[in-house]
Structure 1
Amino acid sequence: MSQNNLFQEFDAVSSKQWKQQIQYELKGADYNETLVWESPEGIKIKPFYHRDEFELSLPSGRPTNGFKITQNIFVHDVAKSNARALDTLQRGAECIRFTLENKAISLGDLMQNLPLKDIPYFFYLPFLEIDFVNQLQQFALQHQAHFILQIDPIGQLGRDGNWFENLEKDFEKIHHIAQNSPIPFLSIDSSLYQNAGANGVQQLAYTLAHANEYFNRIPQHPHPFTVNVAVGSNYFFEIAKLRALRLLFTTLAKEYGHEHEVRILVTPSRRNKTLYDYNVNMLRTTTECMSAVLGGADFVANLPYDALYHKDNEFGDRIARNQLLILKHESYFDKVHNPADGAYYIETITQQLAEKALALFKDIEAHGGFITQLMEGTIQRKINESAQKEQEAFDSGKEVLLGTNKYPNKNDRMKGDLELYPFVKQNPRKTLISPIIEKRWAEKMEQERLASEE
């Protein structure tokens, strides 16, 4: 019997029939109160989705076989960073993302012996210096290197509380770069919003409003944008978030005549990572990287399991990179073309996230735009409200982190292993606005445990 005939032996079951059977099994309990739950974004989640209730027709996301395994490298010692880049490329990395501590480095030494034409190199710049940007551009042209700069003055304002210099001078420099740059240079740090506690709708709306400021202020920008995104543990919602981001960004870009696709670089969230029972972080980052790939990320940079408390080290990097290598080459995540397409649940969440984010974006624009609302403190207040709700859910046990607020190992000792300070750093200083502060759920609980260690 053929496969088609086999399936024809079974009668179709409508959504109405399924719901009737569920209602019968509930023995009088209310269907909506018992089985329909609401996400922090206000999206009602049903227990099942059926094709006879599905009328959505969203554009396909990005094919998953396009993602590149990306290695983050913080450049402090140029020789060591160069050696590390060479080693990680030989071990399976397909892209390098350098974070430059300052402009006093030799590009020739940093890029020595590295393959330049076929490997993308991101350069995240926590400063805004035209002369250094010119050096990067000239090096890329001279060596036909695939460079992508990440400059984000609005992200600098949100994260630090101050511009690089001030609004006028920062955008004067950005205009100069836009008129002369042969390589992409504008970036949007959306990960800040997730790691600070914004919900999915807020993350999308703030990213869109953030981008809209650049579209408005730099209309002649000729290159694709890069968006850094952090993904959390809500598996299907994170897939839908990335799909909605691409849909919304493409829609906005078309309004400005910008035809380049957005580049999405994804990293697992720090918000749900823990100091105690740290090996569980590997499980969290695995599912988060899966969400990133299925959601259509262009680049995925995994977070080492020990990133909270250890300095960069070969073992942590190797484990993080191997997680991605397994997903790509052994779990065949690079073989299926858009596996999320046609999944009624994911498509429904995608549409609802996009619609709610678009409504919030329009509200931001109606009240002066993103920079204005940052200056007024509205964005910070909204993120804090969302973060507080998440924190209350964690403190009450509704949001579970295994090994921390559920089944903790009381014999764990971490005080002697801290190479980095894993909590929010207090640095009182004068700022133009209140910065957006990243904070993990488990920080207070971990500080109490550290204080009680003998």
Structure 2
Amino acid sequence: MSDLFKDFDSVSAKEWKQKIHADLKGADYNETLIWQSREGIHVKPFYHPDDFEEAFTPIPGQPTTWNIAQHIFIDDEAIANNLAIDAIKRGAEAIIFSAESEFDIYKVFNNFPFEETPIYFYLTFLSEEFLGKLKQLFSEKNATVYYNIDLIGNLTHSGNWFHNLKEDHKIIDKIVYKNPSEAIISIDTTGYQNSGATIVQQLAYALAHVNEYLNHFSSEKLKTPITFKVGVGSNYFFEIAKIRALRKLYAALASEYNISETCHIIATPSKRNKTLYDYNVNMLRTTTECMSAVLGGANTICNLPYDALFHKSNEFGERISRNQLLVLKEESYFDTVSNAADGTYYIESLTDELAEKALELFKTIEKGGGFLQQLKEGKVQQKIKESAEKEQQLYNDGNVKLLGTNYHTNPEDRMKDDLDLYPFVKTKPRKTIIEPIIERRLSEQTEQERLKKE
């Protein structure tokens, strides 16, 4: 094949900038074309190889493919089993099970294709005996399982340990020490995203979060990759860079502990920007967010149904969310090229800048006593609140636009009679040992006001 570019002279970054200045006809270059993100990153109008002193380094642990996951909540075991088997037949490549209490594992996994379908768990209870039963079954079936136990994640979400500090650590220690080759530990970062933390904060808190576990366990007891659950927002290129930066940061931290530098990432769309009104727009939002997750290098992606805020889990919503991923994979060729973002000047620059800023914040947290100490003192919660309030103000002022909610609204849209679920922050007074990190959507107040007027 001939080189199509050999007949064209290369253009330096300086020459591009001179041309832009000329076209601006006196307008200020910085004020007109450079904008600052919430993360404090100045985004330039163009990126050029002259901006980089060294060649780009590969992202550690980038997967060559990604799995489509379906989430299933276990209430009735027989129903959960039917939903899982049906989802796999319809294109799901992994199943994420969540449960609030122990269940009959043989009913849930009846006729389950263990060897072909990875299993993920998100359990809101902690039981050594129950996890032992799961381990025994899955060992017999040669299954790939991610147990995703996150004591600190439960603490940040609920404000309490599962049992208490001593009991939780006793249980997790036994589970990890007995099963050093199993994927036990997980870091759930979705709460940081959904509560309004900036991308830099999400990365730094994820790193500080996992560092608490790495400090606790010896390298001999952590032989499998740590799993991260990541919420993906709507800032398309920044979210691609966020996942890449997470892999870089974790690899740097893991190398200090002499453990595997590869992590396993599960991605799901954020709830922060999802809406009740004009709810079909949620499909557009989740599609681009899943695209960011693919290009960023997530191992597994679980989409959020367009009606998840206000409808109970239903066949139509789940099928549409799964089909969005199938279209990306089978018809849009998002699985044809791995590491598609590699070498793109803009994304590579964003990846490095986000990683550098997050590493700086991580070091500040460690100097302040570590992540748990900062949680106990309420410093992490306060920083997230401050960030969330700034973003909320941008939304209130119309600078952050949510189509159909505060931009191009349809005054005839009605939702009051279509709410199966309560879609706003629920207040449940209880005693907690720390202030929990509260997830809150940007449009909640707007929607409550509109509902009152229907």
Short-chain TM bin:
over 0.9
Which amino acid is 2:58 matched to?
P
Q: CA 1:343–1:92 in structure 2 vs 1: closer, same or farther (change >3 Å)?
A: same
Q: Which amino acid aligns with 1:263?
A: H
Show the 5 A alignment for 1:98-113: 98-103=97-102, 105-113=103-111
Which residue identity is paired with 2:43?
I
Letter matched to residue 211 of structure 1: V
- Is structure 2 residue 418 aligned with structure 1 residue 412? no
1:395 alignment counterpart: 396
Correspondences of 1:266-345 after superposition (within 5 Å): 266-345=267-346
- Code of the residue aligned with 1:86 in structure 2: it is I
Deviation by residue 1:131-184 (Cα, 9 ceiling, x = unmatched): 011011111112222221011110111000111122222112111111112521
Alignment RMSD (CA, Å): 1.1
Contact kept? 1:116, 1:145, Cα under 8 Å: yes
Q: State which drifts further: 62-71 or 226-235.
A: 62-71
- In the TM superposition, what is the alpha-carbon distance from 1:54 to its structure 2 partner? 2.2
CA distance in 2: counterparts of 1:62 and 1:39, whole angstroms: 28
Q: Is 2:78–2:108's contact at 8 Å kept on the other side of the alignment?
A: yes
Which amino acid counterpart does residue 98 of structure 2 have in structure 1? Answer: T
- In structure 1, C-alpha distance between the alignment counterparts of 2:63 and 2:432, rounded to whole Å: 41
Report the TM-score when normalising by structure 1. Answer: 0.97
Instruction: Encode CA deviations 1:52-80: one digit per residue, 9 max, x unaligned.
Output: 22234232365564110000101111100
1:157 equivalent to 2:161? Answer: no
Matched, 1:167 2:135: no
Residues 260/61 of structure 1: CA separation in 2 closer, same or farther (3 Å cut):
closer
Kept in 2, the 8 Å contact 1:277–1:403? The answer is yes
Q: Is the 8 A contact 1:235 1:287 kept in 2?
A: yes
> Does 2:50 match 1:52?
yes
2:77 maps to what in 1? 78
Provide the rounded CA distance (Å) in 1 between the counterparts of 2:129 and 2:398: 52
Partner of 1:12: 10
Q: Are 2:38 and 1:37 aligned?
A: no
Q: Specify whether residues 203 and 423 from structure 1 end up closer, same or farther in structure 2 by C-alpha distance, changes over 3 A only.
A: same
Aligned partners of 1:348, 1:126: CA distance in 2, in Å? 38
| Residue pair 2:63, 2:338 contacting (<8 A) in 1 also | yes
Task: Tell me the alpha carbon deviations over residues 89-113 of structure 1, each in whole angstroms, 9 at most, x when there is no partner.
Answer: 000000000001201x111110001
Long gaps (5+) in structure 2: none
Is 1:176 equivalent to 2:174 in the alignment?
A: yes
Alpha-carbon distance in structure 2 between the residues aligned to 1:323 and 1:180: 40
Equivalent position amino acid for 1:444 in 2: Q
What is the distance in 1 between the residues matched to 2:26 and 2:82? Answer: 67
Contact 2:395 2:401 in 1 (8 A): yes
Aligned to 1:218: 217
Residues 178 and 222, structure 1, Cα contact 8 Å, conserved in 2: no
Please give the alpha-carbon distance, in whole angstroms, between the structure 1 residues aligned to 2:203 and 2:59.
Answer: 18
8 Å contact 1:61–1:338 — kept in the other structure? no
Cα deviation, residue 380, structure 1: 0.2
Q: Deviations over 1:205-264 (max 9, x none)?
A: 000000000000122333221110000000000000000001111111111111162110
Partners of 2:308 and 2:427 lie apart in 1 by: 20
Quote the Cα distance in structure 2 between the aligned partners of 1:260 and 1:138. 28
5+ long unaligned stretches in structure 1: none
Tell whether the 8 Å contact from 1:123 to 1:150 is kept in structure 2 after alignment. Answer: yes
Q: Which amino acid aligns with 2:24?
A: L
Deviation at 1:30, TM superposition (A): 1.4
Residues in 2 aligned to 1:324 and 1:61: alpha-carbon distance in whole angstroms: 25
SS in 1 for 2:272: coil
**Structure 1 stretch 147-156 or stretch 202-211: which is displaced more?**
147-156
- Tell me which residue corresponds to 2:247: 246
Q: Distance in 1 between matches of 2:82 and 2:147?
A: 21
In 2, the alpha carbon distance for the partners of 1:58 and 1:200 equals 22
**CA–CA distance in structure 1, aligned partners of residues 183 and 352 of structure 2:** 30
Match of 1:189 in 2: 188
Out of 126, 129, 132, the residue aligned to residue 131 of structure 1 is 129
CA–CA distance in structure 1, aligned partners of residues 25 and 142 of structure 2: 69
Q: Residues 374-393 of structure 1 correspond to what in structure 2 (within 5 A)?
A: 374-393=375-394
Q: Is the 8 A contact 2:73 2:80 kept in 1?
A: yes
Alignment partners' CA distance in 2, 1:63 and 1:112: 33
Cα separation, 1, equivalents of 2:70 and 2:226: 20
Determine the C-alpha separation between the residues in 1 that align with 2:8 and 2:188. Answer: 50
Give the structure 2 partner of residue 205 of structure 1. Answer: 204
Q: Which residue type is aligned with residue 177 of structure 2? A: Q
Secondary structure of 2:5's match? helix
CA distance in 1, matches of 2:60, 2:403: 33
Q: Counterpart amino acid of 2:189?
A: S
